[in-house]
Amino acid sequence: MKLILISGVFILLMASCAQKKAEEKVENYTLQGDTVNIPAPSGIRKVLQTDTVVRGDFQSSLQAAAIIKAIPNLYAAIAPPFSGRITRVFLKLGMRVKPGSPLFEMASPDFVEQQKNFYAARSAYITAELNLKRQADLKKNGVGSSKELEEAQSLFEINQKEYQNQSAALKIYQVNPEKMILGQALVIYSPIAGDVISNEVISGHFLKSDEPPHAVIADLSRVWVSASVKEKDISLIRNGDEAVISVASYPGRQISGKVYHIDELVDDQTQSINVLMSCENTDRTLKPGMYATATFKESPRPVTLIPLKAVLQDGERQFVFVQITPFKFIRRTIETGSEVKGKIVVRTGLEPGETIITAGGFYLQEAK
């Protein structure tokens, strides 16, 4: 009998506690749809903070991993056009060169053959020119025929073109055909101004025309910084935007750059887009192959900013509590953007002038 009595008392006690908790919850706030009302006796009133939504200037920044590259137009890999043996070497590692500076000299049977082709073409051109003049004189004096003159004219034009082609081929190697001596060595010249950053040219070494380059010249006073930017962030970057480059080798140092080119294609493996920046590098701080960090900053623009702690999460959705009247709020879903210094950009869902809960909103998070 006592056991039944104790059990009954326990059940009544538990029911009383549950009812008391329910009453306390009702006292804290009441919920009608998405609207939360906080009555006067509720202790939540004391912990809530509200503020008015305003628009302000915002400058977003974005960081991306990058790598330093030489600018292709300021980079030259030196390889001989013909096979041959190196007879003289002029270049040295670290040497500054100008366009047309001699780098090395080589004896090449293939180059000699090219010279012979030129002389043969020149001889045929001179012969064809003399024959054309003779046929013109004969025709003028009534001895030659029109057909012979036309044939001489056609042959002259063919040989003239071949002579021009052979001359142009030699000029590619910076050889003056009119001053060339048959059998002379081939001199390899620098096509650009820059520094010799790689040199494997050895006197006496026989080089084949299909070998990899044995010397590299580059002008590194300006370099490219190639950054990999995620597809979702590319809208923040435009050609001409300023960027700040930093490398681990020089902690704390910031190097200015400017966006030069944004690729048109997206890398389907990483869903990123390559962005090239041009940077001054007169002190050679940035070296090709270095890893770097690029920080992009867009121009300031007016946006809606609210405190980060005002935003609450419900699964994948973000929301805030918007005040309708004092201590009466409605739960509203928003879409956010970048964060900066404890604040977050609101893209949609709020208008300037509205009042929201900026602190203590988590006490109402269960109101659904």
8 A C-beta contact, residue 50 and residue 356: yes
Write the Ramachandran bin of 233: left for phi over 0, alpha for psi from -120 to 50, otherwise beta.
alpha
Cα 310 from Cα 364, distance rounded (Å): 12
What is the C-alpha radius of gyration for the chain, rounded to an integer number of angstroms? 41
pLDDT in tens, the chain (368 residues): 444 444 444 444 444 444 444 444 445 778 887 888 888 888 888 888 999 998 887 777 788 999 999 999 999 999 989 999 999 999 999 999 999 999 999 999 999 999 999 999 999 999 999 999 999 998 888 887 888 889 999 999 999 999 999 999 999 988 999 899 999 999 999 999 999 999 999 999 999 988 899 999 999 999 999 999 998 888 778 888 889 999 988 888 889 999 999 999 998 888 899 999 999 999 888 999 999 999 987 667 788 889 999 999 888 889 999 999 999 999 999 998 877 778 888 988 999 999 999 998 888 877 65
Cα separation of the two ends of the chain:
45
Q: Report how far residue 221's alpha carbon sits from residue 286's, in angstroms, rounded to the nearest whole number.
A: 9
Which burial class, exposed, middle or buried, applies to 35 when counting CB atoms under 10 A from its CB (0-12, 13-18, 19+)? middle
DSSP secondary structure string, 295-336? EEEPPPEEEEEEEGGG-EEETTEEEEEEEEETTEEEEEEEEE
Cα distance between residue 15 and residue 164, in whole Å = 109
* Amino acid occupying residue 109: P
> Phi then psi for 207, rounded to 5 degrees?
-105, 140
CA distances from 279 to 50, 255, 284, 303 (A): 47, 8, 11, 31
Provide the sign of the torsion angle of the four alpha carbons 83, 84, 90, 91, taken in this order: positive
Per-residue pLDDT at 2: 43
pLDDT of residue 55: 87
* Per-residue pLDDT, 140: 85
Return the exposure string of 273-290: e unless at least 16 CB atoms fall within 10 Å of the residue's CB, then b: bbbbbbbebeeebbeeeb
Amino acid, single-letter form, for residue 7:
S
Q: Give the separation between CA 160 and CA 179, rounded to whole angstroms.
A: 19
Go through the domains of the chain in sequence order and give each one's CATH number: 28-58+301-364 (2.40.420.20), 63-73+220-297 (2.40.30.170), 115-178 (1.10.287)
> Could you give the CA distance from residue 286 to residue 225 in angstroms, rounded to a whole number?
9
CA distance 310 to 361: 7
pLDDT of residue 27: 59
- Nearest one of 31, 51, 36 to 309, comparing CA atoms: 51
Other CB atoms within 10 Å distance of the CB of residue 212? 7
Q: Which two tokens stand for residue 169?
A: 């081929």
What was the pLDDT predicted at 62?
A: 84
pTM, two decimal places = 0.61
Residue 22's pLDDT is 40
Q: Could you give the angle at which helices 109-140 and 146-172 cross, rounded to 10 degrees?
A: 150
